[in-house]
Structure 1
Amino acid sequence: MSLKFSVLASGSSGNAIYVETEKTRLLVDAGLSAKQIQILFEKAACGEVGDIDGILVTHEHSDHIKGLGVLARKFKLPIYANKNTWNAMNGLIGEVNTEQKFEFEMETVKTFNDLEVESFGVSHDAAEPMFYVFHHNGRKLALMTDTGYVSDRMKGIIRDSHSLVIESNHDINMLMMGRYPWNIKRRILGDHGHISNEDCGHALADVIGDGTKHIYLAHLSKDNNMKDIARLAVEQTLKTHDILTGDQVFLHDTDASQPTKLAVV
């Protein structure tokens, strides 16, 4: 009766997360090629892609939907997204049969067999970006990346998750000294961009509860971050809030091409 998940891939080049219970198997985003996602399923021992119950979409950016249309057509999989995201995906994922297209609106809860999925909005430069919290048998898994800031409302929704996948996108100094043009830097730093390592740490300090044990740092920038830098920055920020990693909570890396171990929430 356990809730399990694997961050199959996370980063600016592509994102996909697998979630399962005894009766339900879901994929959140398909931001890599269909072939790559199939390989990641095998590496993470997640079974066959064609056996999942559906794909939940967070938003229409290519690093989240690159393989969506191909996977849906090849395996006849249902796709769930809000209306504005569906409109924004027109022309980006190819033709999808009407019977495979389902609406999952923001700030609602949808039940998939034995799994309840709660959607919530984030602040990102997409049509209507949203992420998800999974509830099963008293366990809670929250996913939240691609947001320029973390509001009190978002914190309330993800608070006291047993496991949490959260954005730790960039090191501010690396970003500012890097090769990106100023307009891209401004986008990343803005309220509709991505949160930094330090912002991630401060947000975590407000949402870690007694039940929170595992935190996965996700969507790291290839050019403006490194796993060691992100982990150290988050650890140091949490320490200023009297939260010790490796004792109260455990930090985990994610990767753009290697899945995390299929873990119990």
Structure 2
Amino acid sequence: MQFAVLFSGSSGNSSYVRVGDDVYLIDAGVSTKRLLAALAEHNIDAQQIKAVFLTHEHSDHIAGLRVLCDKYNIPLYTNEQTFNHIPVKSRPVSSQVIFMEHNFLYLDQLYIKTVPISHDAKDGLGYVFETNNKKVVYLTDTGYVSEAVKHEIAGADGYIIESNHDPELLLQSAYPWHVRQRILSDQGHLSNESCGYLLANIISTSTRFVVLAHLSENNNLAELALKTVENILVEKQVRNGLEQLCVAYQDRRTAIFTV
């Protein structure tokens, strides 16, 4: 199983998991043209996309959704609440929409499990992808992670996980107070420190790759996110088995990680 982040941040989000020649997108938050160009950098074309898994209905996760799904007849997987809160102009109309009524499904050779996120969206989702005893977790746009979710996402081989902001930078920012409060709340976003302590609780000796995602362009720095998380993992003595800890960006692709 391979995974990579194509776009990450408030201007648009999209990642993928690949099993063999089959590609499964997580979100389509940029135009279809930009998304396909980014996939082409990884030698992937539209015909290989077997599904789009949507986390929630915010614009930075759905900007290219309708065109991508309808033009290339790609099924969309999400839950009913999320789909119903996508603006009508952004909803796929001719492609198949599958509501994940339960928190898991089998799709070809892939087992997909959903976990709830705590965000100011209607019924947002994180995703766990498993095949051949390998596990990749995608978890962003959440201000809080419950013990039940920690249990579900623990011990993965790879993580794409939110490290959105540094609280001090956020509090000193020009954002209106209500926006700062929202980001810091349980329905907002994980800080660098919160991300670090979460990872310290869930990574195991099998964890090889961690990608810090959805970094704020105004209230974070890549170096600060990496240093904060790294220091916590070292402090908790769980860093040694990790091969790579890196950051996802808005304007460049990550490497392709293989587990």
Same fold at TM > 0.5:
yes
In the alignment, does 2:100 pair up with 1:104? yes
- The 5-angstrom pairing of residues 1-265 of structure 1 reads 3-22=1-20, 24-45=22-43, 47-94=44-91, 96-97=93-94, 100-105=96-101, 108-244=103-239, 247-249=240-242, 250-265=244-259
- In structure 2, the CA distance between the partners of 1:41 and 1:95, relative to structure 1 (3 Å rule), is closer
> What per-residue deviation string (whole Å, max 9, x for no partner) do you get for residues 164-220 of structure 1?
111000011110101101000000000100010000000011001121111110000
Q: Secondary structure at the match of 2:24?
A: strand
Alignment partners' CA distance in 2, 1:28 and 1:148: 19
**Structure 1 position 51, deviation (Å):** 2.6
CA distance in 1, matches of 2:177, 2:86: 28
The answer to whether the 8 Å contact 2:67/2:92 transfers is: no
Q: Structure 1 segments of 4 or more deviating over 3 A?
A: none
| AA at the equivalent of 1:251 | L
Gaps of 5+ in 1: none
| Contact 2:27–2:52 under 8 Å retained in 1 | yes
| Distance of 1:90 and 1:115 partners within structure 2 | 30
Letter in 2 for 1:239: V
Q: CA deviation at 1:95?
A: 5.1
SS at match of 2:215: coil
CA contact 1:24–1:115 (8 Å) conserved in 2: no
User: RMSD between aligned alpha carbons?
Assistant: 1.3
The separation in 1 between residues aligned to 2:25 and 2:208, in whole angstroms, is 23
Closer/same/farther in 2, CA of residues 179 and 73 from structure 1, 3 Å limit? same
Q: Distance in 1 between matches of 2:91 and 2:18?
A: 27
Residue 53 of structure 1: SS of its match in structure 2? strand
Q: Which runs of 5 or more residues in structure 2 are unaligned?
A: none
CA distance in 2, matches of 1:119, 1:21: 18
Using the TM superposition, give the Cα deviation of residue 31 of structure 1 relative to its aligned residue in structure 2, in angstroms: 0.4
Equivalent-residue separation in structure 2 for 1:182 and 1:90 (angstroms): 27
Read off the aligned partner of 2:75 and give its amino acid letter. P
Q: Partner letter of residue 100 of structure 2?
A: F
Deviation track 1:135-180 (CA, whole Å, cap 9, x = no partner) reads: 0101000110000012111111110000011100001111010110
Kept in 1, the 8 Å contact 2:27–2:61? The answer is yes
Distance of 2:196 and 2:257 partners within structure 1: 22
Residues 183 and 92 (structure 1 numbering): CA distance in 2 closer, same or farther, change over 3 Å?
farther
Name the TM-score, length of structure 1 as normaliser.
0.94
Q: What is the alpha-carbon distance in structure 2 between the residues aligned to residue 140 and residue 95 of structure 1?
A: 29
Using the alignment, how far apart are the partners of 1:23 and 1:116 within structure 2?
16
Distance (whole Å) between structure 2 residues aligned to residue 184 and residue 213 of structure 1: 35
**How far is 1:85 from its partner?**
0.6
More deviation, 70-79/188-197: 70-79
Three-state SS of the structure 2 residue aligned to 1:73 is: helix
- Contact kept? 1:201, 1:234, Cα under 8 Å: yes
